[in-house]
Structure 1
Amino acid sequence: MATKVLVVDDSSFFRRRVSEIVNQDPDLEVVGVAVNGQEAVDMAAQLKPQVITMDIEMPVMDGITAVRKIMAANPTPILMFSSLTHDGAKATLDALDAGALDFLPKRFEDIASNKDDAIKLLQQRVKALGRRRLYKPRTSSTTSRVVGSSLSNAATSVKPSLSARSTTASSASQLNSASNSTSVASIRASGKKYKALLIGTSTGGPVALQKILTAFPANYPHPILLIQHMPAAFTPAFASRLNSLCKIEVKEAQTGDVLKPGCAYLAPGGMQLMVEKSGSLGRLKVIAGNADMNYKPSVDITFASASKAFGSEVMAVVLTGMGADGREGARMLKTAGSTIWAQDEASCVVYGMPQAVASAGISSLSIALENMAEAIIKETARG
């Protein structure tokens, strides 16, 4: 059965264009169009779509207010369309705060250089959200899956209240045959020494990163590198927002930044972030990178550079996101002796990137988003 989609935009041209693209895919079907936020709220209740595409600036009711009302009354995965401007970035981040799950540039030439690629990407995003069942945090303890030859390699410490879900049965069949399942209460900190925390993410990442980083204390003892798939116009606004909400410092990374404890460095959109060994902590380098790279920034590139700079002294976490970016970089980190964790399937907006490292046997734990910050702090809090 095709995924039912509601298209919301005050532009008749854009409504028609998005509807045509959605309906081109046999797995998708536009079941309604709305010209403003209030119509979107009403039609979400009437039509029960599985995905909504939403504009931000509209008459009668803007898209952010509509998202908030829909998520309160009829929770539905929502894809925002945004302009690639500073104001557009701020509005999109507000929409994500209100409950939207993903966003794309409103100009199709900003989605991809090739028209056919842009159409395919839009269809993929809508289908991915259509498969998403809106997540409710768990309150009961379950089990963690530990992949590797020993518990010490899993390198974690979690309170008994931590809910860390193992991968699904289909993924589990691909995991290392030496995998061991253990209760959360029995897991203890490895005592391992770290020099940096790295977090890579894509779809659903802004909300996930905000949830994790706002839980970190101001005296967190390590630098943090954040690699979020995001346009260049968005990363300054996102870094500023996180900095205003977090106890730690958050900034957009720049070439020459010397890593310092308790500071998170967000990879600039459209660029590649690399870390080089320099002194006791390291130094950052921001480069344009290869024009053929699918992701700018790329989790793989930052993870790979960290494996060379820090070897085994890295904690790397792969969060929600479409695709497999981060898998090969995580593989290099694991080979060097670093610790790799992944977000669990149930709490992901899209279980693509975490599944890639989990199914390849690279990650040692799959952990629910609401427990990720606690788990990271427990494992890495030693200076």
Structure 2
Amino acid sequence: MAKHVRVLVVDDSAFYRKRIRDCLEVSPVIRVIGEAADGEEAVRLSHELHPDLITMDVAMPVMDGIAAVRRIMRERPTPIVMFSAFTREGAQATLDALDAGAVDFLPKLDSANDAARTGELLRARVLELACDGEDGTPPRRETPPTPASHKGSQPSLLVIGASTGGPVAVQQVIAALPGDFPLPVLVGIHMPGTFTPAYAERLDALAALHAREAADGMPLRPGQVLVAPGGLQTRVSADGGLHVRVEASDDALYRPSVDLLLSSAAEAVGPRAFGIVLTGMGTDGAEGARRIHEAGGRVWAQDQASSVVYGMPAAVVRVGAAERVLALEEIADALREVC
């Protein structure tokens, strides 16, 4: 890496600021260049220090984290990772911060064990988010595969998977679909279990479609969006009618696993499965997308230019599963054309 990644740490607690600094500076390529104790100071230092990335607490005096995110994204856009309590109240506040422009969130570092695990995640997020396009050039907009008309069956189920940047991306797509959209929609995002109920409620409030968190045995019906619960595995089953199975499982790195969602859709409805993989870190979804493609179904991927992190959709393109690669703002219109 040619240069250090410069990070501004924002938290009203000196204890947490030190803990975050210590977690970050384990990496020789990450440097904490400043600390702020409230949102107002964070806005000022973002202008003075020009950080590559900011970590931000939600609840702070003078100016809270959500207001600070809005100001920074308006005045000097910078990748911002929120630290949040994984409670219902924390979930609502964090989703507000993501809507305001933050790109990701992590749990508060409340114990030594939490700090070790979250520190690993934080360093990975910082390096991925801050180093994307670090040469100063805008992300490359790749030429998508030629989408010669799809000759397969009419889709009967849409599965959307995402991770980093996914809550806002999925929200944008779902909110733009009409209330008479003819397919059931199943959404899988890497989120904790305390966040998915609040996220489903938010989708329901914003969209013409009815959205709710999935529970074991729920039917998949047109006009309805089911959000796979965090911390559990969700899969599609056609045994006794199209529905979801939700269960505890440790057989995959991610819960929910986008690979499992897509693979189970391919198994349940074959060529009538339709998968879309949006922004996210890592490769989850590539194997499931490949299975839908091999079953004769459709697979689309978000393009690099509109992705917060071009990891998951890039992996789908690399395995040759993507029929189309689209900008985020193009996806809802394209869905209306083919469904």
Per the normalisation by structure 1, the TM-score is 0.83
Count of residues paired in the alignment: 333
Q: Does residue 79 of the first structure (1) align with residue 85 of the second (2)? A: no
- Is 2:109–2:118's contact at 8 Å kept on the other side of the alignment? no
Matched to 2:100, the amino acid is: A
Counterpart of 2:274 in structure 1 is 315
TM-fit CA distance, 1:195: 0.7
Counterpart of 1:119 in structure 2 is 119
Counterpart of 1:287 in structure 2 is 247
- Output aligned runs, 1:217-366, within 5 Å: 217-278=178-239, 282-289=242-249, 291-366=250-325
- Is 2:152–2:271's contact at 8 Å kept on the other side of the alignment? no
- Is 2:43–2:68's contact at 8 Å kept on the other side of the alignment? yes
- Is 2:305–2:327's contact at 8 Å kept on the other side of the alignment? yes
Q: Distance in 2 between matches of 1:216 and 1:82?
A: 30
TM-fit CA distance, 1:373: 0.9
TM-fit CA distance, 1:107: 3.0
TM-fit CA distance, 1:10: 0.6
Q: Distance in 2 between matches of 1:146 and 1:129?
A: 26
| 2:26 counterpart (16, 19, 24) | 24
Residues 318 and 109 of structure 1, relative CA distance in 2, 3 Å threshold:
farther
SS in structure 2 of the partner of residue 311 of structure 1: helix
TM-fit CA distance, 1:292: 4.7
- Is 1:108–1:118's contact at 8 Å kept on the other side of the alignment? no
Counterpart of 2:69 in structure 1 is 67
| 1:199 counterpart (160, 172, 196) | 160
Q: Distance in 2 between matches of 1:121 and 1:235?
A: 20
Residues 79 and 114 of structure 1, relative CA distance in 2, 3 Å threshold:
closer
Matched to 2:275, the amino acid is: A
Matched to 2:307, the amino acid is: C
Counterpart of 1:99 in structure 2 is 101
Matched to 2:243, the amino acid is: R
Q: Distance in 1 between matches of 2:5 and 2:109?
A: 24
Counterpart of 1:14 in structure 2 is 16
Matched to 1:287, the amino acid is: E
Q: Distance in 2 between matches of 1:330 and 1:109?
A: 38
TM-fit CA distance, 1:108: 5.8
Q: Distance in 2 between matches of 1:374 and 1:298?
A: 27
Q: Does residue 145 of the first structure (1) align with residue 144 of the second (2)? A: yes
- Is 1:227–1:297's contact at 8 Å kept on the other side of the alignment? yes
Counterpart of 1:158 in structure 2 is none
Q: Does residue 209 of the first structure (1) align with residue 170 of the second (2)? A: yes
- Is 2:182–2:222's contact at 8 Å kept on the other side of the alignment? yes
Q: Distance in 2 between matches of 1:232 and 1:360?
A: 30
Q: Distance in 2 between matches of 1:114 and 1:6?
A: 21
Q: Distance in 2 between matches of 1:117 and 1:10?
A: 22
- Is 2:16–2:109's contact at 8 Å kept on the other side of the alignment? no
Q: Distance in 2 between matches of 1:191 and 1:275?
A: 20
Q: Deviations over 1:332-375 (max 9, x none)?
A: 11111111110001111111100111011111211101111111
Q: Distance in 1 between matches of 2:228 and 2:200?
A: 9
Unaligned runs of 5+ in 2: none
Q: Deviations over 1:46-99 (max 9, x none)?
A: 111010000000111100000001111111110000101000000000000111
Matched to 2:148, the amino acid is: L
- Is 1:191–1:379's contact at 8 Å kept on the other side of the alignment? no
- Is 1:342–1:365's contact at 8 Å kept on the other side of the alignment? yes
Q: Does residue 38 of the first structure (1) align with residue 37 of the second (2)? A: no
Counterpart of 2:130 in structure 1 is 130
Q: Distance in 1 between matches of 2:321 and 2:220?
A: 26
Per the normalisation by structure 2, the TM-score is 0.93
Among all aligned residue pairs of Structure 1 and Structure 2, give the percentage whose two residues are the same amino acid: 47
Q: Distance in 2 between matches of 1:106 and 1:197?
A: 34
Residues 115 and 76 of structure 1, relative CA distance in 2, 3 Å threshold:
closer
